[in-house]
Structure 1
Amino acid sequence: MTARNLSWMLLSAIVICGCSGKNEATIEAKTKSLETLDADVLGIELSSWPTTVRSQGSLYADEQSIVGAKVAGRVAEVHGDVGDVLKLGDPLVTLDQEDFLLQVQQAEAQLLQARSSVGLLEGDPVAKLDPANAPPVRQERALWEETQSSLERIASLRSQNAMSQGEYDVAAAAERVAEARYASAVNGVREKIALIQVRQVELAVARERLKDAIIRAPMDGFVLNRQVAPGTFVSVGQPVATIVRTNPLRFRGKIPERYSQSIAVGQSLRLKIESVTEPREAKITRVSPALDQQSRALTFEALIENENQTLRAGLFAEAEVVTDPDALAIVVPDSAISEFAGATKAWKVVDGVTQEQEVRIGERRGASLQVVQGLAAGDLILLDAEQGRVGKVNAEKVPQAGVHAAAPIAAK
């Protein structure tokens, strides 16, 4: 290296050192000229911020039953009207029972007739009856035994040539006829026993129809509406009223396809119900196995306790489903963020001097905001953005290294 080059290098170093010192002096002078802000400073830390998915839906009754008539008839009395509370088995509508009572009496008479034909007394079970002991069978059996004895006598006389072959043949034929009549009598008694069983079933059906003339509530619940009035003729299956059970209620909501894989039975959700001040906590109880092909959304359900009947079916509700309860995020109080002319900013403290920092806000929960861009853990910001301006922060307000003011707790 020549002496000339060495001289140029020394000269350059002197110039650079002079400029650097001048810049540092200028910055230090500017810093000293800034006003000192007596503002609180917040140390940014990762806070618990469970990941949630929002869904809108409505409350539905746990069960809704359209009660119909099992028999046709004319309405005699309506026991339940809109809003009435019913218990399982309470009468809802009563049909005119006169025709059903006559049918029961007719079936009872026919059964009594069938029992009497085989000699069954009132109260005697059919199983007790032996066809061989029935009066018609005993009569035919006696006649058969008589012809058997007569045939034996004629056969004895025939062996002694005291009777002709023709007389023997007549007696033998009479014996066979008596045997056939006996067998027919046994079959007749068995047929009458079967007829008794038919009459018993007919009587049971008639009594069931009489019972069905009183239409009863199929479950505990409320009368949602009624479709008949006294004097209305109803046919079989015609609806007479609608019963709903509203404890519990079912919240039915839908979520977009992109969140469908994050929903599962047992996940917690927070329900904000229209016209109800306090939100309700619940868990997902059912998830549809398929997405709706038109809306591309997944349907799910959650049961909401409604023992005091403070909620009504049909209310609009909004759910926040917790899909990741352990998620963390940068969370700041809303006081630390300012919005002006479409820009969202925070006042960041760098080397004890405040400066504007543009940020992007995610979700708001109560008085807390999620910051998704612009801030990181370990940054310092002013707690109150309204006090924000360029200046020095009071050293006493700045947290020491490793010590940060607690970040705000995420709203539940």
Structure 2
Amino acid sequence: MTARYLLWMLLIATASCGCNSRNEAKVEAKPKSLETLDVEVIEVELSSWPQVVRSQGSLYADEQTVVGAKVAGRVAQVHGDVGDLLKFNDPLVTLDQEDFLLQVEQAEAQLLQARSSVGLLEGDPVEKLDPTNAPPVRQERALWQESQSSLERIASLRDQNAISQGEYDVAAAEERVAEARYASAVNGVREKIALIQVRQVELAVARERLKDAIIRVPMDGFVLNRLVAPGTFVAVGQPVATIVRTNPLRFRGKIPERYSQSIAVGQSLSVKIESVTEPRDATITRVSPALDQQSRALTFEALIENENQVLRAGLFAQAEVVTDPDAVALVVPESAISEFAGATKAWKVVDVVTQEQEVRIGERRGNAVQVVQGLSAGDLILRDAEQGRVGKVNSAIAPQASLPSDAPIAAM
């Protein structure tokens, strides 16, 4: 009886302990009350986010030319060195002119000789010279007229049977010879007139060679390098210096094939130049008609003003081309996004309770971030993700617009 009583008491005690344990577990499982967060909440909205294409490239001189010698000669003087600014037609290199001066004097003497042979005085234009009035022609014409008169007299004597037929034939032959000499004299004068024209051209060539002995700058620009020094003998066509024009400069960049149809002449772009603080605004002026077959990229150019010569050719630059100025996107402040251990998140407010929301972001422009995935227009998020934690948002705080609609495009 006693043993059975003890067994029942043990079972009742064990059951009582189990119930108490379960009751205590239920008490501990009750959720704690959420912390009230005094944070700023903003509403995700579509904002102006112009579509841009980024490109890398370099600045090139507007024009670059290698200046060569038109005549051969020895360098007497170099007028420009590296970095010198020269104006159009300024002397760049002067060759020894002694030989060219002698050639001019020789051509002048030969022309004077040719003009004197036909009786042209200094200053008389050769175009007004009548070949029939030249002294040699007048002489032959006089002899021909004399033979004609003699032939007429002999013909009259022959009619009177005063002379024989043989004497008449001799006079007639002399008259024909005189006529031929007259025609030859006229042709000779015409030949000398043509020779005068040849001598005039030779003189012009000699003077041009003398002028070419001074090699001049073909455009306004800087001397990029010089290739000769006094005493150097240069051949025809040999380079003497390189001239570059750096106002304006050409930005030349490339864009991938997938954006090739969105680039056109007249589109605006912002160029960020290495070592220059402020970006430069420019406009596309040229677009290549074909893609590069190796890189599958399209080349384009834009002109950048450089009147004060601050920029230099060869500088590296990055550009943003605005292809769709009316595009929109979900944009939030950079402070609303947290990044840790490769995860990008925002704190989203659902039924006044905050919770973490993983997002995927796109471009960053200034303090604005484009949200590609994870949020929708109208969602509420915390403005400052660093204050984010699970809690209940103070309902007294009203949602605010995240960004103005005209969020700027930051230069690269």
TM-score (norm 1): 0.91
- Alignment match, 2:407: 410
User: What does residue range 331-346 of structure 1 map to in structure 2 within 5 Å?
Assistant: 331-346=331-346
User: What does residue range 313-392 of structure 1 map to in structure 2 within 5 Å?
Assistant: 313-392=313-392
User: What's the C-alpha RMSD, in Å, of the aligned pairs?
Assistant: 1.1
User: How far did residue 411 of structure 1 move?
Assistant: 2.8
- Alignment match, 2:118: 118
SS in 2 for 1:189: helix
- Alignment match, 1:257: 257
Write the deviation string for residues 294-322 of structure 1: whole angstroms up to 9, x where unpaired: 11111111101000000000000011111
SS in 2 for 1:110: helix
Question: Residues 344 and 359 of structure 2 are in contact (CA less than 8 Å); yes or no, is this contact kept in structure 1?
Answer: yes
2:262 equivalent to 1:266: no
- Alignment match, 1:188: 188
Counterpart residue type for residue 149 of structure 1: S
User: How far did residue 129 of structure 1 move?
Assistant: 0.4
Counterpart residue type for residue 125 of structure 2: P
Write the deviation string for residues 207-260 of structure 1: whole angstroms up to 9, x where unpaired: 000000000000000000000000000000000000000000001111111111
State how far apart, in whole Å, the 2-side matches of 1:76 and 1:231 are.
6
User: How far did residue 368 of structure 1 move?
Assistant: 0.8
- Alignment match, 2:76: 76
State how far apart, in whole Å, the 2-side matches of 1:163 and 1:170 are.
12
Counterpart residue type for residue 382 of structure 1: L
Question: Residues 349 and 381 of structure 1 are in contact (CA less than 8 Å); yes or no, is this contact kept in structure 2?
Answer: yes
Deviating more after overlay: 337-346 vs 145-154:
337-346
Counterpart residue type for residue 54 of structure 2: R
2:197 equivalent to 1:200: no
Moved over 3 A (4+): none
Question: Residues 367 and 411 of structure 1 are in contact (CA less than 8 Å); yes or no, is this contact kept in structure 2?
Answer: no
Counterpart residue type for residue 241 of structure 1: A
- Alignment match, 2:57: 57
Counterpart residue type for residue 196 of structure 1: I
State how far apart, in whole Å, the 2-side matches of 1:293 and 1:406 are.
44
- Alignment match, 1:216: 216
State how far apart, in whole Å, the 2-side matches of 1:367 and 1:407 are.
10
Question: Residues 66 and 239 of structure 1 are in contact (CA less than 8 Å); yes or no, is this contact kept in structure 2?
Answer: yes
- Alignment match, 1:103: 103
Question: Residues 331 and 402 of structure 2 are in contact (CA less than 8 Å); yes or no, is this contact kept in structure 1?
Answer: no
SS in 2 for 1:57: strand
User: How far did residue 406 of structure 1 move?
Assistant: 4.6
State how far apart, in whole Å, the 2-side matches of 1:79 and 1:231 are.
14
Counterpart residue type for residue 392 of structure 1: K
- Alignment match, 2:156: 156
- Alignment match, 1:294: 294
Question: Residues 61 and 249 of structure 2 are in contact (CA less than 8 Å); yes or no, is this contact kept in structure 1?
Answer: yes
User: What does residue range 131-142 of structure 1 map to in structure 2 within 5 Å?
Assistant: 131-142=131-142
User: How far did residue 396 of structure 1 move?
Assistant: 1.8
The alignment-based identity, stated in percent, is 87
State how far apart, in whole Å, the 2-side matches of 1:150 and 1:285 are.
87
Question: Residues 140 and 178 of structure 2 are in contact (CA less than 8 Å); yes or no, is this contact kept in structure 1?
Answer: yes
Question: Residues 97 and 213 of structure 2 are in contact (CA less than 8 Å); yes or no, is this contact kept in structure 1?
Answer: yes
Write the deviation string for residues 261-310 of structure 1: whole angstroms up to 9, x where unpaired: 11111111111111111111111111111111111111111101000000
**Unaligned stretches of 5+ residues in structure 1:** 1-28
- Alignment match, 1:15: none
User: How far did residue 185 of structure 1 move?
Assistant: 0.3
Question: Residues 42 and 407 of structure 1 are in contact (CA less than 8 Å); yes or no, is this contact kept in structure 2?
Answer: no
Write the deviation string for residues 64-114 of structure 1: whole angstroms up to 9, x where unpaired: 010000000000000000000000000000000000000000000000000
SS in 1 for 2:306: coil
User: How far did residue 390 of structure 1 move?
Assistant: 1.0
Counterpart residue type for residue 382 of structure 2: L
State how far apart, in whole Å, the 2-side matches of 1:114 and 1:139 are.
19
User: How far did residue 407 of structure 1 move?
Assistant: 2.1
User: How far did residue 189 of structure 1 move?
Assistant: 0.4
Counterpart residue type for residue 34 of structure 1: L
Counterpart residue type for residue 403 of structure 2: A
State how far apart, in whole Å, the 1-side matches of 2:220 and 2:294 are.
36
Counterpart residue type for residue 94 of structure 1: T
Counterpart residue type for residue 114 of structure 2: A
State how far apart, in whole Å, the 1-side matches of 2:158 and 2:42 are.
136
2:404 equivalent to 1:394: no
State how far apart, in whole Å, the 2-side matches of 1:198 and 1:405 are.
88
User: How far did residue 147 of structure 1 move?
Assistant: 0.1
Question: Residues 348 and 355 of structure 2 are in contact (CA less than 8 Å); yes or no, is this contact kept in structure 1?
Answer: yes
Question: Residues 43 and 407 of structure 1 are in contact (CA less than 8 Å); yes or no, is this contact kept in structure 2?
Answer: no
SS in 1 for 2:62: strand
**Unaligned stretches of 5+ residues in structure 2:** 1-29
Write the deviation string for residues 124-153 of structure 1: whole angstroms up to 9, x where unpaired: 101110001000000000000000000000
Question: Residues 332 and 402 of structure 2 are in contact (CA less than 8 Å); yes or no, is this contact kept in structure 1?
Answer: no
SS in 2 for 1:230: coil
Counterpart residue type for residue 278 of structure 1: E
SS in 1 for 2:204: helix
SS in 1 for 2:396: helix
User: How far did residue 35 of structure 1 move?
Assistant: 1.3
User: How far did residue 386 of structure 1 move?
Assistant: 0.5
Question: Residues 108 and 203 of structure 1 are in contact (CA less than 8 Å); yes or no, is this contact kept in structure 2?
Answer: yes
Question: Residues 333 and 402 of structure 2 are in contact (CA less than 8 Å); yes or no, is this contact kept in structure 1?
Answer: no
User: How far did residue 398 of structure 1 move?
Assistant: 2.7
